[in-house]
Amino acid sequence: MSIHDTFGQPLLTFPELDKSPLSIRAKALVFVDPRSRQLREELELLAPLALPVLIRGETGTGKELLARQIHRASDRAGLFVSVNCAAISPTYADAELFGYSAGAYSGTASSRAGWFGSANGGTLYLDEIADLPLAIQVKLLAALENREVIRVGAQQPNPVDVRLVAASSIDLGEAVSAGKFHERLYHYLREGHLELPALRDRVGDILPLAEYFVGIYSPRLNLPVPLISDAAQRVLELHSWPGNTRELENVIHFALLVSSGEEILPEHLNLPTPLQALASQLDQLCLRAVASERSALQHLLEQALLRINA
């Protein structure tokens, strides 16, 4: 059965992104696992509302694609503008976000609208919003609440109509407690909150995503579309995926290269075997356990490995 038939339309693709010459990665979200289906229901409820959205999720989980789907499912006719806050220089963050007037800087003969101006009537996506300087966070909140921005060097504000979707791989509540994130901005963003689970926590999405990546990359590599063997499927499902969807994409791309388009086997994945993966997970459990529990867990692990090897 195709993954397209398993749950409504569990595979969401973004073909508009593939038209960009800079687009080299596959672009899709999968909603097969029960946790993902719940997330999609929450997304569909939030998307039409005039609320900001905060997406929390580990690196590589697909937060930007989730933000794009929010924009696509809304009624906002303007552009979706994506900004990586970690890549903005603190010196020029004000001008990058809110724009500047002519003459604000040496050699600037014309004005610039900034990312806010570019997203007017649409959606502004701020990835890793916690990387913005605190002073810029204050100005960001004022722009959102007052629906206007003051460009660097300007005297009068410019009206803007922007929906903010922000994302973070860290707990912003903890960042507020540590004095590293503006508390009022945090509460403003919390009006709409989505938690994007790590790939290891939505195992039902792993094989559909792997199948999608196989279908995308096989033609790009001029290879026939191979099957993923049952043994390879088990390896994929047992891996902990610290790099999430991005890591899975890289693993499948590598497997296609070394398998030459034939059936994908466990050795093509370059991942730990199921036994090694289980041992690694138990090792991590032992490390997290208190001293009184650690020796007992290690003994149980050794006994289990002896039985399996026997």
Q: What is the per-residue pLDDT for 247?
A: 96
What's the pLDDT at 262? 84
Domain boundary (169, 195, 221) is at 195
Query: Which of 139, 171, 195 delimits the end of a domain?
Result: 195
Q: How many domains does the chain have?
A: 2
- Residue 260: pLDDT band by 50, 70, 90 thresholds? confident
C-alpha dist (Å) from residue 270 to 240, 241, 254:
14, 13, 8
Is the per-residue pLDDT at 308 higher than 60?
Answer: no
d(CA 282, CA 101): 58
Give the C-alpha separation, 162 to 50, whole Å.
10
Average pLDDT over residues 124-140: 96
Residue 176 pLDDT more than 90?
A: yes
pTM: 0.83
What CATH number is given to the structural domain containing 127? Answer: 3.40.50.300
On whether both 298 and 164 belong to a single domain, the answer is no
> DSSP character for 310?
-
If one counts every other C-beta atom within 10 angstroms of the C-beta of residue 85, the result is 20
CA 214 remoteness from chain centre:
20
- The CB-side HSE value for 41 (13 A sphere, CA atoms) comes to 8
**What is the distance between the alpha carbons of residues 266 and 261, in angstroms, rounded to a whole number?**
14
Residue 136 has pLDDT above 50, yes or no: yes
Q: Which domain holds residue 303?
A: 275-309
84 has which bridge partners? 127
pLDDT of residue 22 exceeding 60? no
Whether 7 has a pLDDT exceeding 50, the answer reads: no
In a domain, 170, yes or no: yes
**23 pLDDT above the threshold of 60:** no
Domain assignment present for 212: no
Residue finishing a domain among 195, 224, 240 = 195
pLDDT in tens, 44-65: 999 999 999 999 999 999 999 9
* pLDDT for the residue numbered 277: 60
277/238 Cα distance (integer angstroms): 7
Are 64 and 180 contained in the same domain? yes
pLDDT beyond 60 at 309: no
Say whether both 171 and 300 belong to one domain: no
Between 154 and 123, the higher pLDDT residue: 123
The span from the CA of 45 to the CA of 277, in Å, is 37
Taking the C-alpha atoms of residue 165 and residue 72, their distance in angstroms, rounded to an integer, is 12
Q: Is residue 300 situated within a structural domain?
A: yes
Residue 127: its pLDDT value, please? 98
**Proportion of the chain above pLDDT 90, given as a percent:** 67
Tell me, yes or no, whether 185 and 288 share the same domain.
Answer: no
| Same domain, residue pair 303 and 172 | no
Report in angstroms the alpha-carbon separations of 89 from 84, 85, 150, 164: 11, 9, 19, 20
**Contact yes or no for 116/160 (Cβ under 8 A):** yes
Average pLDDT over residues 28-43: 94
